[in-house]
Every structure is written in C-alpha cells, then in structure tokens.
Chain A
C-alpha cells in the first residue's frame, strides 16, 4: 500500500508540480545542487575531465619524472614537490586544487616536457598541467 502511495506521489510531482514550477521559472534544482557543492571544491566532471583523469590514472608513482623535472629545484618545496604531484594528488582531489594554483602558475612547460619524456607509462604531464590550471580556475578561491 505504501508503495502505491509513493508511486502516486512521484507521479504527482512529475506531472503536476514540476511543469508548473518550470512554467513559473522556479525550477533550479541542478543549480542549487552545484551551488551547495561548489564551495567544497566539488564541481561537475566533464568528458574532457574524465579523459584527463584516465590519463593521470596511468601514473604508477615511480618518481622518475621528479628526477628529471627542473621545476622541482626552482620552486619552494612547500609549494611544489615534483611533477608526480600532478597525476598523484592534484588530479585526484579538486578539493585541494585551489591550494595548487600558485604552483601551477609557475610551472614551466619545457621542464615538464623533460619529465614527461621519461615517464614509463606515458602520463601527459604538460597537458595535465594545462587542464589542472583550467580546472583550478573553475573552482572558488578558498
């Protein structure tokens, strides 16, 4: 019986309430949803994001890229801890990404390219840095 009432209520919401709300311009569930989560650093993942995440997922944490990354010695250790941070940390957590903005802005592509060239699994570090910069821009400042 409760199942029947449940289904009837869902039908009422779908057939009556939602069209009326939409007609009155008061339907904004998805926007409200995003507004709630954006301050926490949780933003929508686009197909391009997914592709980059898959590429970052190829990292096996071997650390070879760090040994060839010239940015490593040029930036302060508290700001940047090597190219492997890109696939291992910043790609995985957009919550932490706003904190990486300063480092991302200072990374030199030429240095990253050297690190990328020795990656055994072909993680595209330069593309990853561009994408992370773009994603960081989409996030609110903490």
Chain B
C-alpha cells in the first residue's frame, strides 16, 4: 500500500477533481439550452400504452439525447412513467439503459432534451434534493460508518413531519429490510445481499417518490436474488413509490415489472405491459411465455426496429411456449 502511495503520487490521478465535480452540480445547469424543437416532429418509436396524463407522470423524458464525446448513447429518447408503477428496463450491456437511469437520477445532464421527475425539470435542481433516490449495482456503503450511520446519511436530525429522530427512522427502516440486529455492524461484516438491503433501507428512509434501481442485484447469487425480488416487491407495494429497475436479467424484469421497456441502440425497441397477477408465479406458463418472448426480442433486436408488443391470446401463447422449449 505504501509503495503504491509513493510511486503513484508522481502523476496526478486523471478524472477525479472533487472541486469541479461539485461545481458542476450546483451551477452548471443553467449553461445548457434546454429548449427543444416542435413536439410534432418527434415521434416516439414505440407505441406508448395507456398514455399517462401529465399529472400522473413520475418521470418524463422528452427528446433526450446524451453523448459522451463523439459517442452518442441516447438520441431523441421519449419516455413517460406512470406514478406508482414498476417499470423494468432491459437491454444488452452498452445499450444506454444505465445512462438513462443516471440521467433521471440527475447524475448526468442530458446533451439534448429535458428530463422531468415528479413534474419538475431536473435542470437547475440540486442533485439529491428531489424525491428521487438511486440504488447502485455495488451497495456503495461508506465502509467507515456503521450500518445504522450509513442509513442515516443525509437525513435531517429531526423529521420535519413526524418529529422522529433520524436514528429512530433509520432503525425502523432497517427493521423493514430485516437487518435491525445488524445496525451496529460495519459494512465489511455483511454479505453482499445484506449490503444491498442496507442500501435499499438507506434509499427508503428518505421516503422517495421515485426509486431508481441500477442493476442492484447483478452481483448476487440466484437464491439471494429471489429473496431480494420479494423484498423489493413488498416494499414497493407498501411504500407506493414509482420504481424504475434497470436489469439485464429478463426473468427479473418479468418477475417485478408492470411494464418492460427494451432498449436497444439508445432507443426503445419494445414497450411491453405485463398483465400477470402479483405475486408472480415463476413456474407459470404465462410467466415463462412472456419471459421467452422478451428474451427472444432482446436476442434478435435490430437497430431502429420497433416491435409490436405481444398480446396474450391463446394461439400466440402456444407459439411462445414452443419458443420456450426451443430456447431451453
């Protein structure tokens, strides 16, 4: 460790500049021109189902484009998410789904277009001030703080509404995710699944209206993942927030989502409502058929081609079931 500290200190570490990073999020937003073209000239690629009215939209993206240098990750992206719904976004790695989530979280600024959450434009707002919280693939717990202190991060000392102390609120949420007895432990003493549950508690303690999940279960084993699905679904039902899950696991998307959005090449390639009963039965034929259909679309997406969503009448279900067998 010490040797590294000596040698690598010769050259400045590229990319990390805390001062300018913090400046970016306080004042830079005004520098962008966020006005966009006539709404009629932009056609959403996929048909939007049960188009929500303006008041209902928790997240609204209009003509959003994002480029990193010369690489265009998203272009002319349109998306509306209904309040209280659970939307799963799937796609191959590098399709732009994580960038999309980071745009909605306010961690990135769009190159074109506007991002609105809860009816307010994100530009000009401070990151973290909105009722939006994000959960990352790695739990990103502060290793030098106990589990409880991690959950209390950024909480006001007293809740302005209920008057409860930050500590009591954090303990209550930790109990909800089943980790009340680990409150005093260090994050390093927890398993991967437990760390993600702490991260979930840390997000929920702020009572977010929109919860963004950036492949939070990607690094967990299959069994823990199923447990986490149940936990996330239960908390989503109880708290009534809008959930936006980014995943590469189609099974996970079908198990959790009301609606599955397939992103390919920075565009929506499929917008599929999920009409299955909750709690979802993983072994059920309809579940498997839908999973196979979406997986098939993921595997065979052609750039720029939008697919009609699948309607579950009997004939098509049979075809889809054949596809399952073929896929297995």
Partners in one complex: no
